[in-house]
Amino acid sequence: MPLVAFAHILFHLYKKVSHQAPRILLTGGAGYIGSHTFVKLREAGIEPVILDNFANSHPAVVDRLAQITGAPVLLERGDVLDQPFVEDVLRRHAPAGVIHLAGDKAVGESVAQPLKYFRSNIGGAISLLQAMEAVYLPVGALGAPLLVFSSSATVYGDPATVPITEDFPRGHTDPYGHTKLVIEEMLDAVRAAQPAWRIGVLRYFNPAGAHPSALIGEDPNGTPANLMPYLTQVAIGRLPHLRVFGGDYPTPDGTGVRDYIHIQDLADGHVVALRALQRTGESFTVNLGTGRGYSVLDVVKAFVDATGRPVPYRIVDRRPGDVAQCYADPSRAKALLGWEARHTLEQMCADAWRWQQRNPQGYATGAA
């Protein structure tokens, strides 16, 4: 059979299969968490449609996703704040649900520019929810509205104790965390007013690491606000030393303690959350963390051990909004979703480092 005819058949087979696979809208799907979630969804036989404006991601990620999963990527380039656009996307793709990750996430920037965060995060959520309301309510052929929302451990504010369970009081210590809290409260109100909604709220702890292919990973703009990309950029020579924010917290070594979770485990959490909402129709809120706390200096040591790279660091002043300790009790996610984190801190360090080595300048490096 001529090659062209064979390719033609393959293309039509793909179109048929991809048309049959249930679709999910993945807002922010080109970002760090979204790209890894995209791969896990495809592996689970779900066809994600990415909606992203690339405000904090690189278009090259789309080719990388096609490379990893072996099929073209459905992309809707645009702003989640543009409600008519979101409605149009929902009508054209008729997804079985939405995973909402699009938004701004830098705590420090949110302290300096709170209005930007209220507008992008809260405004984005309102736009999406109203678009979903218009398309899915009253419940018709498309089914009841289904949403998985990326919340954050920041909604616990400064927790009185650790580990943190989901029924701890909610609070916030910075405008970014405030936006997540307001969105959670909005979702509570929507659910109370319209019980048809099925909503899974995922409170992420601290994602780290990269896909084992090293084709996708964390690629922040400017100086990284998160520890792992900061470490890898120091190790590769892009930054002179690591700045450790605060050495006088009431923790064993004085540095902040966090619950680092491998990005692959976190991405898996979205697939099981989606399945649980579809299976039971019951809304829920769960922590996605490992249940283990590591200090900044623990992570530095694990990174040096896993990679053999020296990481010079300096202890500087505390950062506004940071708390001493924050780690999850992840038992509800296990009981409700059958989900638990499987990867170790050493794997997070090794995978993050492999990504950085293959992509010294992130996606701007070109083909990995």
- Please identify every residue annotated as catalytic: 176
- How many Å separate Cα 357 from the centre of its chain? 22
**Binds ligand NAD (CB under 6 A): choice among 26, 39, 62, 102:** 102
**Binds ligand NAD (CB under 6 A): choice among 48, 97, 124, 256:** 124
33 counts as binding ligand NAD under rule CB under 6 A:
yes
**Binds ligand NAD (CB under 6 A): choice among 56, 290, 295, 359:** 56
**Binds ligand NAD (CB under 6 A): choice among 54, 118, 168, 245:** 54
Q: Which positions from 258 to 277 touch ligand NAD by CB under 6 A, shown as an x/- string?
A: --------------------
- Stretch of 30-38, 235-243, 328-336, 350-358 lying at the interface with ligand NAD (CB under 6 A): 30-38
Give every CB contact of residue 16 below 8 A, 6+ residues apart in sequence: none
285 counts as binding ligand NAD under rule CB under 6 A:
no
Task: Look at strands 146-152 and 47-52 and give their pairing.
Answer: unpaired
> CA-CA distance, 109 to 113, in Å (whole number)?
6
101 counts as binding ligand NAD under rule CB under 6 A:
yes
204 counts as binding ligand NAD under rule CB under 6 A:
yes
Give every CB contact of residue 76 below 8 A, 6+ residues apart in sequence: 49, 50, 51, 52, 85, 89, 93
Residue with tokens 């053999």: 308
226 counts as binding ligand NAD under rule CB under 6 A:
yes
Residue 204: φ, ψ to 5°: -75, 145
Provide the 8-state DSSP code for 120: I
Give every CB contact of residue 66 below 8 A, 6+ residues apart in sequence: 72, 73
Cβ proximity of 183 and 315 under 8 Å:
no
- Stretch of 138-146, 199-207, 230-238, 301-309 lying at the interface with ligand NAD (CB under 6 A): 199-207
- Return residues touching ligand NAD (CB under 6 A): 28, 30-34, 52-57, 79-81, 101-103, 105, 120, 124, 150, 152, 204, 206-207, 226
